[in-house]
Chain A
Amino acid sequence: MSIPNTMRIGPFIPTVLVKKRYLFFYLIIVWFSFIPVFLEFWLYWQFLWNYSRPIHFYTFLPLVILPMYITLVFSAIFIAKILFMAVNIIHKPQVGVFLRHPSDKDYRYWCIRNIIKRWPFWLSHRFPFPFLDNICFKVFGVKTKFSNSLFEGWVDTEFISFGKNVVVGQGAIVQSSVIIGNLLIIKRTIIEDDVRIGSHAIIMPGTYVGKRSVLAANSITTVDQKLEDGYIYVGIPAKKFKRNYFFEDGLQDKIGQVEDVEALRAKYEKIYIKRYDEISHKERKELKKEQKEEEKKGIRLR
Chain B
Amino acid sequence: MVEETKSESLDGSENSQEAVIKEPVKIQFKIYILIFAIIYYSSWIIPGFILITYFFFIFRKYFLDTSNFVMLFTELYPLLSLILMPLLIIVCYLIHLLLIGLATKLCWSITEKISPSKNGIIPRNIQSKTANYYHMRSFMIKYGKNAFTKGMIPWLSNWFFNFVGASKIGKGSTIEESVGSDKFIDVGKNCYIGVNSTLASHLVQGIFGNISYFEVKLKDNVTLAAMNQIGPGSEIGKDSFLLPLATCLKHSVLKGGKYYVGIPLRKIFTNKIMAYLGLTPEDLERNDSLNEFITKNKKDKIKEKIKEETEEDFTIKQEKEESVDIDCLTKEDLALDFTTSSAISRINVKFLTVYIPIFWLSGFLVSIYLYEYTRDPGFTTILFLPIAIFSMWYIFIFGVLFFSKLLLILVNLIHKPREGIFIAEIGDKDYEFWMLRTELKKISLWLIRNSPFSWIDVIAFKWFGINMDFSSHLNDAWCDAEFVNFGRNNLIGQGATIMSSMVVGKYLIIKRVIFDDYVMVGGHTTIAPGTIMGRDSVIGAISTTIYNQILEPNWIYFGIPGIKLKENKYAEERRDLIMKRDVDQQVKVEMTHEVNIDEDKKKLIKTEKNKV
Asked if A pairs with B, the answer is yes
Interface residues of A (CB under 8 A from B): 1-8, 12, 14-17, 23, 27, 30-35, 38-39, 41-42, 45-46, 49, 53, 55, 58-59, 61-63, 65-66, 92, 94-97, 99-101, 103-105, 119, 122, 126, 128-131, 146-149, 151-154, 165-173, 175, 178-183, 185, 187-188, 190, 196-200, 202, 204, 206, 208, 210, 212, 214, 216-218, 220, 222-224, 226, 228-230, 232, 234, 236-237, 241-258, 261-262, 264-265, 267-268, 272-273, 275-277, 290-291, 294, 298, 301-302
Chain A residue with the shortest CB-CB distance to B341: A169
A62→B505 contact, CB < 8 A: no
- Min CB–CB distance A134 → chain B (angstroms): 9
Complex Cα–Cα for A261 and B227 (A): 26
Q: In the complex, which residues of chain B have a beta carbon less than 8 angstroms from the beta carbon of A223?
A: 276-279
- Min CB–CB distance A286 → chain B (angstroms): 13
- Min CB–CB distance A38 → chain B (angstroms): 6
Q: In the complex, which residues of chain A have a beta carbon less than 8 angstroms from the beta carbon of B275?
A: 222
B338→A257 contact, CB < 8 A: no
Chain B residue with the shortest CB-CB distance to A20: B155
Given contacts A122-B152, A246-B505, contact A185 B334 (CB under 8 A): no
Within 497-512 of B, Cβ neighbours of A (below 8 Å) are at 497, 499, 503-507, 509
Give the contacting residue for B329; candidates A45, A182, A254; CB below 8 A.
A254
Give the contacting residue for A261; candidates B355, B356, B546; CB below 8 A.
B546
Complex Cα–Cα for A193 and B494 (A): 31
Given contacts A16-B192, A200-B526, A301-B281, contact A220 B179 (CB under 8 A): no
Give the contacting residue for B326; candidates A12, A204, A251; CB below 8 A.
A251
B307→A95 contact, CB < 8 A: yes
- Min CB–CB distance A106 → chain B (angstroms): 9
Q: In the complex, which residues of chain A have a beta carbon less than 8 angstroms from the beta carbon of B64?
A: 41-42, 45, 49
Query: How does the 8 Å CB contact mask read for B359-372 relative to A, with 1 for contact and 0 for none?
Result: 11011101110110
A208→B314 contact, CB < 8 A: yes
B334→A245 contact, CB < 8 A: yes
Q: In the complex, which residues of chain A have a beta carbon less than 8 angstroms from the beta carbon of B266?
A: 276
- Write 23 A-B pairs (CB below 8 A) sorted by A numbering: A4-B449, A4-B494, A7-B149, A46-B67, A61-B370, A62-B362, A62-B363, A62-B367, A94-B306, A94-B309, A99-B293, A119-B152, A172-B341, A179-B225, A180-B223, A180-B241, A180-B259, A218-B560, A246-B507, A249-B506, A252-B422, A254-B329, A257-B547
Complex Cα–Cα for A168 and B344 (A): 9
A128→B443 contact, CB < 8 A: yes
B495 sits at the interface (CB 8 A): yes
- Min CB–CB distance A72 → chain B (angstroms): 10
B336→A92 contact, CB < 8 A: no
Complex Cα–Cα for A199 and B215 (A): 29
Complex Cα–Cα for A236 and B226 (A): 14
Q: In the complex, which residues of chain A have a beta carbon less than 8 angstroms from the beta carbon of B70?
A: none
A212→B505 contact, CB < 8 A: yes
Q: In the complex, which residues of chain B have a beta carbon less than 8 angstroms from the beta carbon of A59?
A: 364, 367
Chain B residue with the shortest CB-CB distance to A7: B177
Q: In the complex, which residues of chain A have a beta carbon less than 8 angstroms from the beta carbon of B333?
A: 242-243, 245
Complex Cα–Cα for A50 and B307 (A): 62
Q: In the complex, which residues of chain A have a beta carbon less than 8 angstroms from the beta carbon of B349?
A: 131
B53 sits at the interface (CB 8 A): no
Q: In the complex, which residues of chain A have a beta carbon less than 8 angstroms from the beta carbon of B338?
A: 198, 214, 216-217, 232, 234, 241
A182→B316 contact, CB < 8 A: no
B549→A261 contact, CB < 8 A: yes
Greatest chain A CB density within 10 A among B85, B278, B355, B360 is at B278
Greatest chain A CB density within 10 A among B149, B221, B366, B544 is at B544
A62→B283 contact, CB < 8 A: no
B450 sits at the interface (CB 8 A): yes
Chain B residue with the shortest CB-CB distance to A119: B152
B380 sits at the interface (CB 8 A): no
Give the contacting residue for A171; candidates B72, B326, B507, B524; CB below 8 A.
B524
Given contacts A34-B85, A103-B298, A273-B262, contact A248 B290 (CB under 8 A): no
Greatest chain A CB density within 10 A among B281, B345, B530 is at B345
Give the contacting residue for B340; candidates A30, A65, A217, A245; CB below 8 A.
A217
The 4 closest A-B pairs by CB, nearest first: A62-B363, A169-B341, A246-B505, A34-B86
A94→B307 contact, CB < 8 A: yes
Q: In the complex, which residues of chain B have a beta carbon less than 8 angstroms from the beta carbon of A4?
A: 179, 449, 475-478, 494-495
Q: In the complex, which residues of chain A have a beta carbon less than 8 angstroms from the beta carbon of B225?
A: 178-180
Chain B residue with the shortest CB-CB distance to A268: B560
Q: In the complex, which residues of chain B have a beta carbon less than 8 angstroms from the beta carbon of A151?
A: 343
A5→B263 contact, CB < 8 A: no
- Min CB–CB distance A302 → chain B (angstroms): 7
Complex Cα–Cα for A122 and B441 (A): 22
B335→A38 contact, CB < 8 A: no
Give the contacting residue for B342; candidates A8, A31, A170, A294; CB below 8 A.
A170
A202→B227 contact, CB < 8 A: yes
Q: In the complex, which residues of chain A have a beta carbon less than 8 angstroms from the beta carbon of B421?
A: 252-253, 255
Complex Cα–Cα for A286 and B526 (A): 36
B429 sits at the interface (CB 8 A): no
- Min CB–CB distance B201 → chain A (angstroms): 15
A290→B269 contact, CB < 8 A: yes
B480 sits at the interface (CB 8 A): yes
A217→B341 contact, CB < 8 A: yes
Chain B residue with the shortest CB-CB distance to A164: B345
Query: How does the 8 Å CB contact mask read for B210-225 relative to A, with 1 for contact and 0 for none?
Result: 0000000000010101
Q: In the complex, which residues of chain B have a beta carbon less than 8 angstroms from the beta carbon of A250?
A: 326
B457 sits at the interface (CB 8 A): yes
A258→B227 contact, CB < 8 A: no
Size category of the binding interface on chain B: 35 or more
B410 sits at the interface (CB 8 A): no
Chain A residue with the shortest CB-CB distance to B155: A17
Given contacts A152-B478, A224-B278, contact A252 B286 (CB under 8 A): no
Complex Cα–Cα for A208 and B546 (A): 27
Complex Cα–Cα for A300 and B503 (A): 52
Q: In the complex, which residues of chain A have a beta carbon less than 8 angstroms from the beta carbon of B279?
A: 97, 183, 185, 223
B261 sits at the interface (CB 8 A): yes
A35→B86 contact, CB < 8 A: yes
- Min CB–CB distance A121 → chain B (angstroms): 12
B340→A198 contact, CB < 8 A: yes
A101→B475 contact, CB < 8 A: no
Chain B residue with the shortest CB-CB distance to A14: B176
Complex Cα–Cα for A66 and B363 (A): 10
B166 sits at the interface (CB 8 A): no
Give the contacting residue for B561; candidates A97, A202, A264; CB below 8 A.
A264
B481 sits at the interface (CB 8 A): yes
B32 sits at the interface (CB 8 A): no
- Min CB–CB distance B579 → chain A (angstroms): 13
- Min CB–CB distance B129 → chain A (angstroms): 26
Q: In the complex, which residues of chain A have a beta carbon less than 8 angstroms from the beta carbon of B89?
A: 34
A254→B334 contact, CB < 8 A: yes
A222→B346 contact, CB < 8 A: no
Q: In the complex, which residues of chain B have a beta carbon less than 8 angstroms from the beta carbon of A55?
A: 371
Q: In the complex, which residues of chain B have a beta carbon less than 8 angstroms from the beta carbon of A168?
A: 341, 343
B505→A247 contact, CB < 8 A: yes
B127 sits at the interface (CB 8 A): no
Complex Cα–Cα for A95 and B324 (A): 40
Chain B residue with the shortest CB-CB distance to A27: B90
Q: In the complex, which residues of chain B have a beta carbon less than 8 angstroms from the beta carbon of A291?
A: 269
Chain A residue with the shortest CB-CB distance to B586: A276
- Min CB–CB distance B547 → chain A (angstroms): 5
B470 sits at the interface (CB 8 A): no
Complex Cα–Cα for A186 and B371 (A): 53
- Min CB–CB distance B296 → chain A (angstroms): 10
Q: A188-B309, A199-B497 are in contact. List 13 more A-B contacts (CB 8 A).
A: A4-B478, A6-B142, A6-B177, A42-B63, A62-B363, A62-B364, A131-B347, A180-B277, A187-B278, A210-B316, A236-B245, A258-B337, A258-B549
